[in-house]
Structure 1
Amino acid sequence: MLVVKQALPCETVDFPLSSETQRFINICLGVPVGQGYGLTETCAGAAFSEWDDISVGRVGPPLPCCYVKLISWEEGGYRISDSPMPRGEVVIGGHSITKGYFNNEAKTNEVYKVDERGIRWFYTGDIGQFHPDGCVEIIDRKKDIVKLQHGEYVSLGKVESALQTSNYVDNIMVYADPFHSYCVALVVPPHQALEKWAQNSGISYKDIEELCHNDQAIKEVQQSLSKAAKAARLEKFEIPAKIILLPEPWTPESGLVTAALKLKREQLKAKFKDDLNKLYQ
């Protein structure tokens, strides 16, 4: 039982808050929960929810200290002419934008631009859409989108968010090779959940590593992922065709996730290169 004596309005800003979690807190605890959006390069805040906005999944309107606009990303299929809402890469401008990256002129020139009016803009790499009331919603990430062999686009972050609803997922990285027609996944299962299933299924194993290599365990987790994917209405090509179960959790100390537990894709791909290659054999 959860007892709340006094609940105050709160905002989340470090990572996207799932719509289900936000709605649950709003309704069950009676706490107004909003979201904010910004980056280190924009000196934190760029958009912030109004305190009385009970909608979910949005990060509010742009703050008075900056400008926010969308730029079409044709390759990814996001355009400012899209209906019912304009979509594109989120670009933030104004006096709050930093000058660039220290001793990295190439990277600075890549994502910082100054227009003819002298306004400095930062290209975030995030994909957003503008609602009719002026609120921003972050819907994707450019770097997380991969084009498969037959032209379908897979949003890795979107797929991972959907699959994390499975009881067998403690952490997951979806990987898509552009020279193949399907994606795969590295899955770190919660030990307790997987061991409970093994016990109920009469499967013997020496340790969690052996259990993660068990064909029946892999099949059980993959079926759970498929169920979560269908519940999220993912396309068939977005559902990992093959998976590998990994026994060791990903922690900031391992260098595989950030302090905020966000995936470090390049480090993960390098460490598990052989495993990923096996999934495509």
Structure 2
Amino acid sequence: MAELHDPWLVAVWPGMGTVAMGAGYYLMAKLGMHLWEELPARDLFESDHVDVKDGLIQIAPLPRSRLFVWKDPRGQHDLIVFIGEAQPTMKSAMICHQLIDRVKPLGVRHVFTFAAMATGMRPGEEGRVFGAATDHATLKRFRDLDATVLESGQINGLNGVLLGVAAESGLQGGCLLGEMPQLFSQLPYPKASLAVLEFFAKVAGIRIDLTELEAHAQEVENKLETFLSRIEQAIHQVEGGEAPAVPDEEEEKEKKPKLNAEDRQHLDKLFGEAKADRSRAYFLKQELDRLHVFREYEDRFLDLFKNGG
């Protein structure tokens, strides 16, 4: 790989609200990153189950952990984005040491992770970005950009453990946590991913086209506001002795569908568009998520980023 200019590492794993993964995938897609390296799965994970299909036992694939690279044409900071499909239940420190040892010789001196912060906020309210840093310089930068400093508490999972290992290695950086409603903590909340990426772009001094993520975040926000309003209306009716209104069945159609031939043709068309223009990859991912088939198509999706740069 060509020499990198002041590269920064961003690492994301699955977590609450899919905030980190949503931000990581968007960053990878919109910057047109390319796959650099994959860490050996057997070094990081052990099988804890097998799959059964048509009565036959099949070995379940292990989660994959991949590194993607982007060279900044403006010469600010090249980026290395690490996307882990799962957080290992064991060996957390080991994977973090392995990751830091892999990127530090490339000149990485800054490490960032993304996460979610669930609070009592409501959909429609402006979400904050919380920050915790490994060093005073980064903490000052967070304060100067009006992040809400996480004064105390814990950052669970590898989002936190990696930063501990980075600090031990003398690297600067921190965790950016996007605020989301506690009530919807089990649902994807792209508005928090958007807030995190907006803030990170300022910290890193890079440009990211956030138009698609803004539209997606607004769409989800509108749905959550409508849903919450219906729930509160039903509770008010029950407390008033009225029969609760039956919700519109429009939202009930979100059950996992089976793909028909038209859906598959639609996805094939989007894959072709994303292959020709990788900035279209985020729209493709939205469709895969909407149809609940991202896991089925994940390898094909990430194959779009194998070549380039």
| TM-score of the pair, normalised by structure 2 | 0.25
Q: Which structure dedicates a bigger proportion of its chain to helix?
A: 2
| TM-score of the pair, normalised by structure 1 | 0.27
Q: Which structure dedicates a bigger proportion of its chain to strand?
A: 1
Q: Which has the higher contact order (CA 8 A, sep 6+)?
A: 2
